[in-house]
Structure 1
Amino acid sequence: MKYAYVESLRGQHAIHKMCAWLGVSRSGYYKWRNRQPSEQALRREQVRQAVILVFEQFKKRYGAPRIRLELNEAGIPCSLNHVARLMAESGLKARNGKHFKFYPSGNAINHVSENLLGRNFSASTPDEKWVSDITYIKLEHGFVYLAVVMDLFSRQIIGWALDTSMTTELIIEAFEMAKAHRNVKPGLILHSDRGVQYRSSEYQGKLYEQGIRPSMSRKGNCWDNAAVESFFARMKVESIYAERFLTKEDAYACVFEYIELFYNSVRRHSTIDYKSPRQFEEDYYAQCA
């Protein structure tokens, strides 16, 4: 589809030029881009996420027949053929036969969510849109990795975790911190890049349990997650690059000071009327009272 081709190159060429080259209208492209997924597509995605969740819950031991039974008992009606097809598309194969071979998680290979955020980094209320990403911090010997979750309404860092490995557990720890302190409701968008950690079945299952809608950047396009990339750039210039870290604990102390004591509580942010993220949220809730 021509509109899909334009979308794949968005950010590399002007939209009006690409539409002219392909002989399509800009208004038609924007209408296509802002379309809502059909109820059937949403239902299919919900069932697919449920299949992945059950598959991981039973440690890859259940094939389509047993997963179908589990879903039906949970109130999710679906046929055996439908479950088998969704498992095949997601690369899920139960370890219950002599021909079973160990493969990476099906989500880690195949699952890529639609870019629901679409570079719209504004939000009208707290906990409407979150973004997440990972960066590295150099130690004297080696590196540590920092995962954060940001609320786009106030640009507040609502969850973060730091460790010596860039694992799925790292981003889940940051997510769990955010979830514990915020008002999570079904429909919340959580955007990330296509990193294998974010495509893991374990992480996707966590989102599904909360009714969170995953969103992912286009391949190789860092600008699709520009808000959190900008935060990392500021943090490194304002704090990280000025320090020398011997250990993970040194880096943790620096990150804690920057995020919790300065950035969230004190630093004035140009996007939110030069208020700190916490002050911006406090003013919002005071107006709602």
Structure 2
Amino acid sequence: MEGRPRRSFTDDYKRQCAELVVSSGRSIPSVAKELGLRDSVLRRWVERFEPQPTSAARRPITQATPMSADQASEIARLRQENERLRMERDILKKSRDLCRNPDMSFRFIEDHRDSYPVRLMCAVLEVSPAGYYAWRDRPLSARAAHNVTLLAAIRQVHQDSSGRYGSPRIHAVLRRQDRGVSRGRIERIMSRYGIRAIMARPRRVHTTDSRHHLPIAPNLIGRDFTAEAPNRLWLADITYIPTAEGWLYLAAVMDLFSRKIVGWAMRDHMQVELASAALTMAIQQRRPQAGLIHHSDRGVHYASYAYRDALKAAGIIASMSRKADCYDNAPMESFFHTLKTELVHHRNYETRAEARRDIFAFIEGFYNRTRLHSAVGYLAPIEVELKTA
């Protein structure tokens, strides 16, 4: 069994950690715990990389002109009306998947009565307040009471995953909590209350160019996506992230044993340096022994002399997919699909910097440390590796 290497971090990783603290407004201990770092280490990185305030931030605040009593009254009325309309819209949105019968409507009102006025919900759902209160006073059956408790647990797991977990992973989490409940029952409750994993249809854009005359490495894995231990087989690939400033490109390296992303880099270009930076991070953090297999597509980034020299210097053996066959690198394709459907397709990034911070937090704070992976027995990558340490 290989010993655990000492963790080492690139400046790019440190800068992203510091930017995550500054941009999110969260405390250093909170972010450090999420990323598995010591508070003192993260504090030094923040002090080193914290951006200086802009001139706009230093601009003095001018005093507003006082408004009249009539203007203040009208503004208050409009705000109250806007708040009522907002609540009506939210109620309709959250209840759209309900089977429209009184029992389901009453259950919805009971679940949301701390968030919205009961009479407003009754009006929107077209039921009477008297009927709701009569329903509420009825005693619950044992199964109905258990369903209420189970629904609260499902919603908590769903919320903790930022809406990314569907019934399989919620079932896995509840099993860890020693809740003896079937996946079918969880699916029925989730369907009844409109709880589902956030998903979006991914768009396919080719990010690598295999039209070159550089040497091609043989395919050494042949779609055998298994590894006996960490640092035996790495997969690598590149994807794109749309922002208002243009594309942000992400190169990533995955350890197949645990599905952990061990190296990544984000740039505004598709040059060889992008892939090399991700490889450098992976080597620096993992310090693998000679003989590790590195599998990628045939893109010019991975076939370049610079990249092959870096692999050779680390004692890493190159392997490449067949031409235009994404299934030869399926786990990496699966990771990018997860990234897009659980994060990117639900964001509208104004800047590349905003996208970098979000993707960094997803990879290092959620995907590697928290997200349950079906391919490794519904464990998080960090758990898989700790079990082998």
- TM-score normalized by structure 2? 0.45
Partner of 1:158: 262
Partner of 1:145: 249
The amino acid across from 1:226 in the alignment is A
| SS across alignment from 2:378 | coil
Partner of 2:228: 124
Distance of 1:203 and 1:235 partners within structure 2: 25
Partner of 2:336: 232
Partner of 2:364: 260
Structure 1 position 213 matched with structure 2 position 317: yes
| SS across alignment from 2:301 | coil
Partner of 2:374: 270
- 1:108, CA displacement in angstroms? 5.1
Partner of 1:191: 295
Distance of 1:263 and 1:121 partners within structure 2: 19
Residues 235-254 of structure 1 mapped to structure 2, 5 A cutoff: 235-254=339-358
The amino acid across from 1:181 in the alignment is Q
Partner of 1:168: 272
Q: Is the Cα–Cα contact under 8 Å of residues 168 and 200 in structure 1 kept in the other structure?
A: yes
Distance of 1:250 and 1:168 partners within structure 2: 23
| 1:150-172 deviations in Å (ceiling 9; x for gaps) | 00000000000001001110011
Q: Is the Cα–Cα contact under 8 Å of residues 265 and 276 in structure 1 kept in the other structure?
A: yes
Structure 1 position 222 matched with structure 2 position 355: no
Partner of 1:94: none
Residues 77-156 of structure 1 mapped to structure 2, 5 A cutoff: 109-156=213-260
- 1:246, CA displacement in angstroms? 1.2
| SS across alignment from 1:110 | coil
- 1:112, CA displacement in angstroms? 0.5
Partner of 2:386: 282
Q: Is the Cα–Cα contact under 8 Å of residues 132 and 148 in structure 1 kept in the other structure?
A: yes
Distance of 2:212 and 2:281 partners within structure 1: 23
- 1:274, CA displacement in angstroms? 0.7
| SS across alignment from 2:240 | strand
Distance of 2:290 and 2:353 partners within structure 1: 36
Flag the structure with larger Rg.
2
The amino acid across from 2:281 in the alignment is M
- 1:175, CA displacement in angstroms? 0.4
Partner of 1:62: none
Superposition CA RMSD, Å: 1.2
The amino acid across from 1:130 in the alignment is W
- TM-score normalized by structure 1? 0.61
| SS across alignment from 2:266 | strand
Distance of 2:241 and 2:326 partners within structure 1: 19
* Count of residues paired in the alignment: 179
Distance of 2:259 and 2:337 partners within structure 1: 14
| SS across alignment from 2:310 | helix
Partner of 2:304: 200
| 1:19-39 deviations in Å (ceiling 9; x for gaps) | xxxxxxxxxxxxxxxxxxxxx
Q: Is the Cα–Cα contact under 8 Å of residues 189 and 213 in structure 1 kept in the other structure?
A: yes
Q: Is the Cα–Cα contact under 8 Å of residues 214 and 300 in structure 2 kept in the other structure?
A: no
- 1:284, CA displacement in angstroms? 1.4
| Structure 2: tracts of 5 or more residues without a match | 1-210
Q: Is the Cα–Cα contact under 8 Å of residues 158 and 178 in structure 1 kept in the other structure?
A: yes
Distance of 2:267 and 2:366 partners within structure 1: 21
Q: Is the Cα–Cα contact under 8 Å of residues 252 and 265 in structure 2 kept in the other structure?
A: yes
Q: Which runs of 4+ in 1 moved over 3 A?
A: none
Distance of 2:312 and 2:326 partners within structure 1: 25
Q: Is the Cα–Cα contact under 8 Å of residues 161 and 173 in structure 1 kept in the other structure?
A: yes
Distance of 1:110 and 1:156 partners within structure 2: 30
| SS across alignment from 1:158 | strand
Distance of 2:214 and 2:304 partners within structure 1: 10
Q: Is the Cα–Cα contact under 8 Å of residues 108 and 200 in structure 1 kept in the other structure?
A: no
| Structure 1: tracts of 5 or more residues without a match | 1-106
The amino acid across from 2:270 in the alignment is M
